[in-house]
Amino acid sequence: TLKKYNIKKPFICITSRDSAYLDTKTDKNYHDFIDTDFRKFDESINYLINKGNSVIRVTKKTNIDYQNQSKKYFFLTEDRTDSSDVFFLSQSKYNIFGSYNGITNLSAIFRKKSLYLNFVPFSLKDLTTISKNSVFIPKKIFSIKENRFLKFYEINNLINSEYNIHYQGNFFQDKNLKVVDNTVTEMLDTIKEFDKSYDQIFEKSENHLQDKFWNSFSDANGIRFLKDELCIKISDSFLENNEELI
């Protein structure tokens, strides 16, 4: 497939889920809060291509039409199979997941350092499923009743105590909460940060906000596992721009 479409290495895979994944007529377990508009990747895709990478969009189905005129951008529709998705995700330089869903588990299986954007539902236990040395940024949650964004530890507590993946309805909407996607700028800044350091050996961040973030949670053993064994990190730039949520 690489030869047929003249896909040159290094290539980066980007995935995201949208409304095409849910049949509202038969499935009342709404997960549309996971969805991400792939068009928000446009600036990031151009940045990665200008850095010498090819970019492959990987998705089984989509309602989002995105076009890019670069000969280094690929969206294979005719020859796409589940096997080709697995192949691309396993052979990529790294993967960028625009939504947290089933396909994200492949990076952990391949032990491939990856970038997880729009991570929702966000909790420490869900972070244990992502691949070692990876970076993430969560979606923010706005309380309509309290007219404020929930702090990160509050989101974690909410998910741990009340969220059920089989909830019949829209969990956040039913609790008068609004899920807010990562902005184009947050995504681009995080991708720049990740791309710059992806091939470096993991080192503890010198950004004091990392410790402030992790220390805001009460699960000391879980934090130790994520930080010291899985070497998971939340984006520095994201923390700097959202310090008030720590």
Q: How open is the CA angle 50-90-237, to the nearest 5 degrees?
A: 50
Mean pLDDT (whole number) for 102-129: 92
Residue 193 pLDDT grade (very low, low, confident, very high; cuts 50, 70, 90): very high
- Residue-wise pLDDT tens digits, 125-144: 999 999 999 999 999 999 99
Mean pLDDT (whole number) for 9-34: 78
Distance between CA 225 and CA 244 in Å, rounded? 25
Q: End-to-end distance of the chain based on CA atoms, in angstroms?
A: 45
Residue 124 pLDDT grade (very low, low, confident, very high; cuts 50, 70, 90): very high
Mean pLDDT (whole number) for 161-188: 93
Distance between CA 210 and CA 227 in Å, rounded? 10
Give every CB contact of residue 5 below 8 A, 6+ residues apart in sequence. Answer: 74, 76
3-state secondary structure of 191: helix
pLDDT in the model for residue 166 = 83
Distance between CA 167 and CA 162 in Å, rounded? 10
- Residue-wise pLDDT tens digits, 203-222: 666 789 999 999 999 999 99
Residue 190 pLDDT grade (very low, low, confident, very high; cuts 50, 70, 90): very high
- Residue-wise pLDDT tens digits, 49-93: 999 999 999 998 898 999 999 999 999 887 888 899 999 999 999
